[in-house]
Amino acid sequence: MMNTRVLTAVLLLAASPALAVPSTSVSVSGQVGTPQSFDAAALAALPQTTSIQTYTSGGTPVTDNFTGPTLSAVLTAAGGIATNPAIRNDLLRHYVIATGTDGYKAVVSAGEIAANFGRRQDLVATSDSLGRLPAADGVARLVAAGDRAGGRYISNLTSLEVGGGPAIAGTGGGTTTSFVVQGAVGTVMSFDLPALQALTPYTQTVTYTSGSGTVMDTYTGALLWDVLGKAGITTNASVKNDILRKVVAAVGSDGYQVDFAAGELSPAFGNNPILVAYSDTLGQLNGSSGFARLVVGSDTAGGRYVSNLSSLTVFDATTVPEPGSLVLLGAGLGGLVLMRRRA
């Protein structure tokens, strides 16, 4: 029988975080056309981009000049994100889980880096002006361009896994008068117009493409991050930057869905001021768009402008259950949520 001292040592070892070891390749898996692995030579063979970024690390500002292929270029070299052509803008239901050799994970949404939407030039950097690549940071480091803090700057990058779930039902179509916030939150909450208007208002003028035309409109609403904050995103204090594993699925009454990485929304990281708008100068929110619409001012196309918002569901991208599992995420407009495993 194992004695108490040995047992304690084993348990402490099991509970300790893995040590980061230098990565030698980056695997791309999940919902891509051709899963494969990229070593230093394969990454160097892709088109290269150079980008100067400033972010905080341990509270200290760091400025570094990174070079490497963009995250989009790496995914394209792996056959691109596999989407279902029968689902409108299915690309926007996808996200990338980036993992370091120590098991640290963070999520980037497909919409953040897509050419017609967020257009962020995130890099899979292989060299830098401070000399950390590849010496200390391995064959590659994920560089989350524009993030305020370095939580999504993943050193010793070892894998990029593309996920695409869960799929969340709408409410059958029609105009909405409220929406629910549910899933990994402290309190399941329903928001109607007075509840939104009680939050700090923001006004933003945006231009985006819709169909074959261009729309310019001025919207007023609450920040999506503030709405989520009222319900309180649930995180695990024992997991470093657990918020960066979370995804927010925004669903319209017709079932149209867009998945956002929580890291894009958080003021500490991506700080993208997405609105849950309830009024606009063109009058769209007085008619078929419902009482609330997401407004993503950073995007060139309107695919992430979810009209007739019926639910916001928070989930952990790294723990999506097996296919066929049905989870009821609270009463109200959210309904049943079909959780499907990342393929």
DSSP 247-265: EEEEEETT--EEEEEHHHH
Are 174 and 323 within one domain? yes
DSSP calls for 78-106: TT-B---TTSTTGGGG-EEEEEETT--EE
Question: Which of 130, 163, 196 is where one domain is finished?
Answer: 163
- Residues forming a β-bridge with 149: 56
Query: Which of 11-15, 134-138, 258-262, 298-302 has the lowest average pLDDT?
Result: 11-15
Is the per-residue pLDDT at 4 higher than 50? no
Answer yes or no: is 12 within a domain.
Answer: no
- Straight-line distance from the first to the last Cα atom of the chain, in angstroms, rounded to the nearest whole number: 42
**Stretch among 81-90, 147-156, 195-204, 281-290 having the lowest mean pLDDT:** 281-290
- Shared domain for 137 and 40, answered yes or no, is yes
Which domain covers residue 31, as residue numbers? 19-163
pLDDT band at 16 (very low <50, low <70, confident <90, very high): very low
* Total number of domains in the chain: 2
Token readout for 290 is 């419902």
**Does residue 4 lie within any of the structural domains?**
no
- Quick one: pLDDT at residue 18? 60
The predicted-structure confidence for 257-274, as pLDDT tens digits, reads as follows 999 999 999 999 999 999
Angle at 213 between CA 210 and CA 216, to 5 degrees: 75
Would you state the pLDDT for residue 77? 98
pTM confidence score = 0.88
Question: Does 323 have pLDDT greater than 90?
Answer: no
Residue 14 inside a domain? The answer is no
207 and 227 share a domain?
Answer: yes
Looking at 163, 180, 200, the residue that finishes a domain is 163
| Residue 11 domain-assigned (yes or no) | no
User: Do residue 307 and residue 282 come from a single domain?
Assistant: yes
State whether residue 243 is helix, strand or coil: helix
For residue 246, tell me if it sits in a domain.
yes
111-140 per-position pLDDT tens digit: 999 999 999 999 999 999 999 999 999 999
Query: The CATH number of the domain where 98 resides is what?
Result: 3.90.420.10
Query: 134, 163, 192: which is the final residue of a domain?
Result: 163
Q: Are residues 312 and 278 in the same domain?
A: yes
Q: What is the DSSP letter of 224?
A: H
pLDDT one-digit tens code per residue, 229-260: 999 999 999 999 999 999 999 999 999 999 99
* Whether 108 and 246 share a structural domain: no
